[in-house]
Amino acid sequence: MEDDGLLIAGGTVVTAGGSFPADVLCREGRIAALLSPGESRPAVEVLDASGCYVLPGGVDVHVHLQMPVGDIVSTDDFASGTIAAACGGTTTVVDFATQERGQTLEEAVAQRRAEADGKVAVDYSLHLAVTDTSERTLRVLPRLVEEGYASFKLYTVYPALYLEDEEILRLLEVARETGAMPLVHCENRAIVERCTRTLLLAGKREPRYHPQARPAEAEAEAVRRMLALAGVAGTPLGIAHLSTRAALGEVCRARTRGQEVWVETCPHYLLLTEAEYERPGFEGAKYVLTPPLRKESDREALWTALIGGGIDWISTDHCPWNYRGQKERGREDFALIPNGAPGIETRLMLLWSEGVTRGRISPERFVALTATQPARLFGLYPRKGAIAPGADADLVVWDPARRVTLRAETLHQQVDYCPYEGWEVVGGPREVFLRGRPVVREGRFVGAPGQGEFVPRYSLMVGR
């Protein structure tokens, strides 16, 4: 019998389908076997996980690392951002290859791969963010899907990114033909531009006006319209970072009609409200993200949907900008504040503490939302998001009693603030393994940038 590998012994394995005591044997980067407690198998390292859960590594399918906007770039590059992900228990991230106007998709992918390959500390993949529906783009999309880029990001807002409805229909048809998942940022561009212009002309320029510039109606209308387009195209639809009760209502009506629609939300919409924009001085700028934080009634509706199965996965939309020097660009005009906030390291701890520890969701539902469902929907499963023989040995030894006070100075995210500064979370990663190799020990990063790999994503089997 081989005498190698890692044995994680004495813990409770948690999957989306159930929890059970088992020892996890890992060899050559994959899970070799799930053993009955105490069942003898040789291993180079035996890790005692008594009193802890053993979870699949987190899968965050919505991050923006070293993302350029004009002359500035988001503060986490592929190295620092993936180190922070690992320290939070996430072992796979999906970023974006964003096509600039006039650029080919092949060029966008090559550029992004050059920025990430050899630098990431966890495994990663890329969505294709399409801004050009020329014949050349439409021809190359099926080939890129075959090469492992099995999802499209589509925008209905932002001057450099938005697509007209006719263009979106074309891309939805390609998604239907190739099996790629379309993931849409849903806001009505005309409403956002009109509201922003009206506020600025009235001299309302502080961060507190950001949510008024992007009202709930802008999201709900765009969700309704994208669902109509997806219905005509006959393709499933993924909705990114849904934030409002009104948009949830549109999704519920579509599902009642029999449409296949999948919904993402983020921790900040579950835990924070638009009250953050009323912070003194310019502090509200730290919470300028898009869509904006919403009302307490929206937050409650999201929790209800999360508990009841109406929300399918939780991502971060991690897009960090320093408060000093970057967010401050908008001191005289909230529309100039870079949109986005950090969260890649805190996602799992926050959702466990506020969800599992408080009794809102089960450990199994936590795993489904943060690992298994995003892996299934975006073509990573069963390699990722699973604890089963043959899956990558991406594993987290999760201590439910661990207490951490969230502070910017102690987190690994390379940004000068934390939206949850001073929050105490209960439950967190003790050890994290990427393909069987330790990357976090006792909460300390012990891996190295460059140990992560690009993971191609192929067929999406949802609803097929």
Domain range summary for the chain, segments of one domain joined by +:
57-377
Give the separation between CA 442 and CA 47, rounded to whole angstroms: 12
Q: List residues bridging with 264 in a β-sheet.
A: 313
Q: Compute the half-sphere exposure of residue 276: CA atoms within 13 Å on the CB side of its CA.
A: 24
Q: Is 426 exposed, middle or buried (0-12, 13-18, 19+ CB in 10 A)?
A: middle
Question: For residues 336 and 405, what is the distance between their CA atoms, to the nearest angstrom?
Answer: 31
Options 3.40.640.10, 3.20.20.140, 3.30.70.360, 3.90.320.10; CATH of 57-377: 3.20.20.140
Q: CA 373, 378, 379 angle in degrees (round to 5)?
A: 105
Strand-pair partners of 166: none
214, two tokens: 């992007």
pTM for the model: 0.97
Contact 8, 54 (CB under 8 A): yes
Cα→Cα distances 290→109, 144, 173, 204, 210, Å = 24, 28, 27, 19, 9
Residue 404: CA atoms inside 13 Å, Cβ hemisphere, count?
Answer: 28
* CB contact at 8 A, 372 and 250: no
- Please report how many Cα atoms fall inside a 13 Å half-sphere around the Cα of residue 19, on the Cβ side: 14
Pinpoint the alpha helices (H) of 236-295. Answer: 245-256, 267-271
pLDDT at 182: 97
In whole angstroms, how far apart are CA 219 and each of 89, 130, 292? 31, 20, 10
Sequence-ordered list of residues with C-beta below 8 angstroms from that of 200, at least 6 positions apart, any chain: 333, 335
User: What pLDDT is attached to residue 101?
Assistant: 87
Task: Output the CA angle 114-118-122, nearest 5 degrees.
Answer: 115
In contact, 454 and 117? CB cutoff 8 Å: yes
Query: Looking at residue 461, what is its pLDDT?
Result: 43
As beta bridge partners, residue 94 has 125
CB atoms within 10 A of CB 194: 13
Tell me the mean pLDDT per 10 residues along the chain, length 464.
Answer: 75 98 96 90 89 98 96 97 98 97 94 98 98 95 97 96 97 96 98 98 98 98 98 97 98 97 98 98 98 98 98 98 97 98 98 98 98 98 98 98 97 98 98 97 94 90 40
| Pair of tokens at residue 12 | 């409770």
Which SS3 state, helix, strand or coil, does residue 374 take? helix
Identify whether the C-beta of residue 29 lies closer than 8 Å to the C-beta of residue 23. no
Strands 53-56 and 395-405: antiparallel
Q: How many CB atoms lie within 10 A of CB 45?
A: 12
Structure letter (DSSP) for residue 8: E
What DSSP line would sit under 314-339, residue for residue? Answer: E---B----TTTTGGGGTT-GGGSPP
The confidence score (pLDDT) of residue 3 equals 43
Opening angle at CA 315, ends 373 and 403, nearest 5: 100
Using the CB atoms, write b or e for 98-134: b if 16+ within 10 Å. Answer: bbeeeeebeebbeebeebbeebbbbbbbbbbbbbbbe
Taking the C-alpha atoms of residue 87 and residue 84, their distance in angstroms, rounded to an integer, is 5
Q: CB of 34 within 8 A of CB of 391?
A: no
Identify the DSSP state of 454.
Answer: B
C-alpha dihedral, 249 to 253 to 255 to 257, nearest 10°: -170
AA identity, residue 14? V
pLDDT value of residue 4: 66
Contact by Cβ (8 Å): 357, 427: yes
